[in-house]
């Protein structure tokens, strides 16, 4: 076997469950972004901490799931009483919630004493205590990992189920990039279809379908309805992104809905306002993550083809497009095949990852 052929076979990967891979990919990216820490595998303690924290959040953040949400006095019952399972869970989750900010922060602060200097001072000129960077960095690390993994999985699922979209995206990439070159963010204006694939991935599989619950600080008026201070407000993000009037045939993965005459259509509602939440607490990572998704999708589609996996009889396996519900929603586990588009593309990937 020639060198390039052996490299190629190494890169052909049938993924038994792609949703297992994406959390390590995004977890590693978030660790690098927040703490400049390098993680090479999903076994990394800090990547796992973020995954565990998100699982805990998924189990607890749906208001009303536990009786204690409605009757706070239940928090005083002893742990050993039958039905007090929520207390045992809460103490386990608390350990994770404490470890998530503290462990990576300690790791970094012992190596880089200038971190506190970098964080600077508050508006009154007072130096921040360690609590501020500790919690700020953890909210970025924890907030970015699982959400991004969800959209990465949605993208691989869409490419498996909608090969015509993938083909169109690859044609655009091939036309714009001279062969042997990876895309760069500065190529964005020339690659509107890839931008539309990012938008459609965020719309097709809303990451936080019911948003994070908000509570009103003051009375509010909504079309004549009084919403008293203290009310919980649940924004149905999924309903907005599946609104037939704005997005006809919403279950189809159709990036063209964002385009007109080969350009992004400014008249299509800007979904970023819905997929990333609302008001003051709107996702602060939204600009960063859209670029991260763009460069990831563009690089993957430049070099790889994603297709259905086949079973032992050679029959294609069509993944179920359904979701695993939760505060952060993920596509159900699915199989797919990821292989380089050609020997040249295999060489490109091998050279970039050497």
Under the criterion CB under 6 A, does residue 212 sit at the interface with ligand HEM?
Answer: yes
Report the alpha-carbon distance of residue 320 to residue 62 in Å, rounded.
25
Give the residue from 84, 60, 143, 140 showing the smallest Cα distance to 327. 60
Residue 339: phi and psi, rounded to 5, are -140, 150
Looking at 75, 92, 111, 281, which residue binds ligand HEM (CB under 6 A)? 281
Looking at 74, 188, 278, 341, which residue binds ligand HEM (CB under 6 A)? 278
Give strand ranges (E) for 77-137: none
Give strand ranges (E) for the chain: 13-15, 214-215, 220-222, 225-227, 232-233, 259-260, 263-264, 304-307, 323-324, 330-331, 336-340
Encoded one letter per residue, x for contact with ligand HEM by CB under 6 A and - for no contact, window 134-173 reads -----xx--xx--xx--x----------------------
Q: Quick one: 195 or 211, whose CB is closer to ligand HEM?
A: 211
Looking at 28, 208, 295, 300, which residue binds ligand HEM (CB under 6 A)? 208
In the complex, least distance from residue 209 CB atom to ligand HEM, rounded to whole angstroms: 9
Report the alpha-carbon distance of residue 222 to residue 226 in Å, rounded.
7
In the complex, least distance from residue 308 CB atom to ligand HEM, rounded to whole angstroms: 25
Q: Quick one: 277 or 319, whose CB is closer to ligand HEM?
A: 277
How far CA 176 is from CA of 137, 158, 169, 262, in Å, comes to 37, 23, 11, 14
Residue 283 is labelled as binding a ligand:
yes
Q: Please, how many CA atoms are within 13 Å of residue 115, restricted to the half-sphere of its CB?
A: 21
Looking at 27, 277, 326, 331, which residue binds ligand HEM (CB under 6 A)? 277
Under the criterion CB under 6 A, does residue 194 sit at the interface with ligand HEM?
Answer: no
Binding residues for heme: 283
Residues of this chain that bind ligand HEM (CB under 6 A): 139-140, 143-144, 147-148, 151, 207-208, 211-212, 275-278, 281-285, 288-289
């Amino acid at each position: 076997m020639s060198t390039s052929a052996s490299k190629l076979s190494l890169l052909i990967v049938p993924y038994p469950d792609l949703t297992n891979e994406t959390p390590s990919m995004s977890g590693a990216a978030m660790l690098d972004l927040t703490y400049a820490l390098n993680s090479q595998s999903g076994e990394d303690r800090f990547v796992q901490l973020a995954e565990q924290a998100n699982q805990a959040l998924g189990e607890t953040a749906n208001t009303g799931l536990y009786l204690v949400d409605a009757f706070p006095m239940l928090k005083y019952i002893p742990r050993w009483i039958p039905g007090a399972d929520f207390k045992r869970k809460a103490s386990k989750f608390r350990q994770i919630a404490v470890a998530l900010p503290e462990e990576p922060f300690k790791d970094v602060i012992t190596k880089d004493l200038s971190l506190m200097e970098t964080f600077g001072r508050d508006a009154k000129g007072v130096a921040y205590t360690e609590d501020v960077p500790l919690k700020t960095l953890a909210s970025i690390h924890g907030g970015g990992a699982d959400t991004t993994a969800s959209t990465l999985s949605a993208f691989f699922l869409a490419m498996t189920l909608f090969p015509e979209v993938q083909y169109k995206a690859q044609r655009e990439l091939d036309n714009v990039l001279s062969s042997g070159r990876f895309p760069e963010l500065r190529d964005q204006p020339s690659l509107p279809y890839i931008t539309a694939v990012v938008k459609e991935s965020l719309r097709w599989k809303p990451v936080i379908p019911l948003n994070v619950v908000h509570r009103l600080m003051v009375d509010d008026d909504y079309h004549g309805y009084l919403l008293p201070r203290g009310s919980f407000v649940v924004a149905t993000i999924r309903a907005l992104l599946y609104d037939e009037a704005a997005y006809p045939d919403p279950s189809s993965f159709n990036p063209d809905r964002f385009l007109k005459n080969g350009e992004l259509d400014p008249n299509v509602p800007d979904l970023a306002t819905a997929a990333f939440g609302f008001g003051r607490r709107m996702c602060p990572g939204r600009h960063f993550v859209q670029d991260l998704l763009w460069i990831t999708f563009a690089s993957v589609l430049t070099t790889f083809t994603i297709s259905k996996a086949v079973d032992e009889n050679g029959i294609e396996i069509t993944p179920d497009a359904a979701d695993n519900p939760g505060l952060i929603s993920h596509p159900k586990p699915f199989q797919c095949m990821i292989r380089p588009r050609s020997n040249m593309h295999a060489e490109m990937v091998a050279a970039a990852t050497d």
